[in-house]
Structure 1
Amino acid sequence: MDKKKLRTTILTMLKSQDREWKSHYDKRLAERLFCLPIYQTATTIAVYLSFDFEYDTTLVIERALADGKRIVIPKTYPKGKMIFVDYDPKTLVTSSFGVPEPESSQEVAKEMIDLVVVPGVVFNNQGYRIGYGAGYYDRYLKDYQGETVSLIYPSQLSYFIPQKYDIPVKGLLYEKSATHF
C-alpha cells in the first residue's frame, strides 16, 4: 500500500475510535511517558496541539507545566518551515491546517529543546513515520540533536519502507496489549 492510501486508512480508523477507550488509553500512555528519564530530565518540551482523534497532548502539556517545565509548540510557515514558540493558550490563532498555533514568532532555539513529542499518522517499528504529507517535522528533525518520542495507538503501527528524507523518532510509546473497555 502506498503512503497516501496507508495514511487515509489509518486516519479513518483513528477517527472512528471509541472515545471512552481513547480517553483511558491516553491517560495510561501519559503516565508511562512521565516515568521515562527523557521526560523527567527535560526542562523544555516541544509538543504539538492535537486534533481530537490524535493522542491527547493536553495531558502532556498540563502535567509538564505543573512539573515546572517549559512547553513550546509549533508554528508553521510556507515552504515547510516550522519553528517552536513558547506556549501561551491566550495567544493562539487558527493555522491554515485548522489547528491552533502561536501568534508569536519568537523562536525557541533547537538546542534549547530537550524533548520533541512528534505527531504522525502511521509508524513502522523503526520509528519512521508518515505524517500529514507536508514534511514539516522531517525538515525540523534533520539536524535536531535532542530526544524524540511519539505517543501512538497500536492501530498506527504498520509496515512501510521509509523514503530517504524521512527522519525516524527515537522512541515509540504505545501499549501492545491495549484492550478496548
Structure 2
Amino acid sequence: MIEQKKELRKNVRELKKLLSTAERNRQSKIIHRKLEETALFKSARSILLYWSLPDEVPTESLVNKWFKDKKIYLPVIDGDDLKIVQYTGESSLVAGDKYGIPEPDGPVLEDEQSIEIVIVPGVAFDTNNNRLGRGAGYYDRILKRIPFANKIAFAFDFQMVDTVPVEEHDIKMDIIINPH
C-alpha cells in the first residue's frame, strides 16, 4: 500500500510539471467558480481553506476575495498537527516554520466545531471521493477533530485517477471539485 501511494505521488508530480501557467489559471478559475456556486459555500460562514503551495490549486485569490464576508481560517503547522487561525489579510501572514507556507499570525480557533467547510488540498483523487495527500497525515488528523465539517477537495484534471489506494485512517472527501 505504501509503495502504491509513493508511485502515485511520483506519477502525479510528473504530470504537474506538464501543466502550463495558462492552463493552471484556467482550471483554477473554473474550480473557484464551481465552489462559489454551491449552496454549501453560499451559506457557510466559517471556512478552513489552505494557502496553496506552487503545485496545488491556487487559493490565494479565493482567500482574499472572501475573508471580509466570511470567517476564513488557514492551517498553521504545529509540530505534527495543524492549528486553525483566522485569516485577517495578507499583513497577518508570516512564513511558516516547516515548509515556508505563509500562515496567519493570530489567536488559535478554540471552537473548531464552528468550521462548516474544510477545503482540502491533495495529490490525487478518485471518483469514490478518496484522497491521497502528501503523506504527513496533517489533514487526516484535523478532519478527525472536526468530523461534521463538509470536506471539499480541489483537483486539477490530471489529479483525478481511477483508484486511490486507501488505508483505514484515510478520510474520504464529501465533494471533489475539478474543472470537469
**TM-score (ref. length: structure 1):** 0.89
Flag the 1:15–1:101 CA change in 2: closer, same or farther, 3 A: farther
2:131 and 2:164 in contact (8 A); partners too: no
**Helix, strand or coil for the counterpart of 1:142?**
helix
TM-superposition CA deviations, 1:21-41 (whole Å, max 9, x none): 111111122111111011001
TM-superposition CA deviations, 1:31-83 (whole Å, max 9, x none): 111110110010011110001221111232123235x11110001111x2112
Cross-structure match for 2:164 = 160
Across the aligned residues of Structure 1 and Structure 2, the Cα RMSD in angstroms comes to: 1.6
TM-superposition CA deviations, 1:115-140 (whole Å, max 9, x none): 11001011122222111111010011
CA–CA distance in structure 2, aligned partners of residues 108 and 19 of structure 1: 38
Decide which moves more: 164-173 or 99-108. Answer: 99-108
CA–CA distance in structure 1, aligned partners of residues 107 and 138 of structure 2: 16
Dislocated runs of 4+, deviation >6 Å:
none
Q: How does 1:60-75 map to 2 (within 5 A)?
A: 60-65=62-67, 68-75=69-76
1:85 maps onto 2:89 in alignment: no
Percent of aligned pairs sharing the same letter: 26
Structure 2: give runs of 5+ residues left out of the alignment: none
**Helix, strand or coil for the counterpart of 2:67?**
helix
**TM-score (ref. length: structure 2):** 0.89
Cross-structure match for 2:30 = 28
